[in-house]
Amino acid sequence: MREGEVVEPVLVQPVDSDRARFFARALSPVVDTSLYNPDASDLPDAVMFLQLLGQELASDAGAVVDRWQQTESIHDRVSETPARRSRSGTLRALVGQAGIYAMHLDLRKQGPHALVGGTTGSGKSEFLQAWVLGMAAEYSPDRVTFLFVDYKGGSAFADCVHLPHCVGLVTDLSPHLVRRALTSLRAEIHYREHLFNRKKAKDLIEL
């Protein structure tokens, strides 16, 4: 029937079984990408960060210190001569889960800078919070500190300011803190330039 009219006669071209089998086998590798077929390689809907880091880090301060000692990030304040690290330093930290394995990022090997992009609500702040927690769990404040610049009024890193690594929180609600932060950053850059020159080092890892 076409446009309300009956069309006849109609000739139907049959397909023999051999040809049908040939086309079926040719189409067998085709995968419908719109079909959801969960397996072990899929990302889970949610991952508890402590499940990846270890539950003991949330309740046992000794476990945190032990991890810091394993990464040799605690400075010796007793000896007059600071001990050199036995291995090349890294800034590797857990950031989440990729498939069935934990995902790590290393700011020394993959950095030293990072840019996180995404649309509104895509999880940029949550990812940065996870990265901060991963860094804080791996390294002591002797090795890593955080100065948070949050132009969401401070809501993105409100919980992270309680970490011992946090040296400050700058938000758009306090313009004078922004100016102070810029002044401090300039001073820190100049300090590091003089330090590198004096120690003949190319970065902080070599110190």
Tens of each residue's pLDDT in the chain, 207 residues = 556 778 778 888 888 889 899 989 998 888 776 666 566 556 666 778 888 888 888 888 888 888 888 888 887 766 665 555 555 567 888 888 877 778 888 888 887 788 888 888 888 888 898 899 999 999 999 888 898 888 777 788 888 888 999 988 888 788 888 888 888 889 988 998 898 888 888 776 666
Domain ranges (residues) in the chain? 44-140
Kindly state the tokens that stand for 144.
């890593």
Structural contact between residues 171 and 151, judged by C-beta atoms closer than 8 angstroms:
yes
Axis-axis angle for helices 124-138, 61-70 (nearest 10): 80
**Tokens 């940029």 map to which residue?**
124
Cβ-Cβ contacts under 8 Å for 143 (sequence gap 6 or more): 71, 73, 89
Cβ-Cβ contacts under 8 Å for 97 (sequence gap 6 or more): 43, 44, 47, 52, 103
Q: How far apart are CA 122 and CA 62, in angstroms?
A: 35
Q: How far apart are CA 136 and CA 93, in angstroms?
A: 9
pTM higher than 0.75 for the full model? no
Of 120, 146, 121, 143, nearest to 131 by C-alpha is 146
Q: How far apart are CA 193 and CA 201, in angstroms?
A: 10
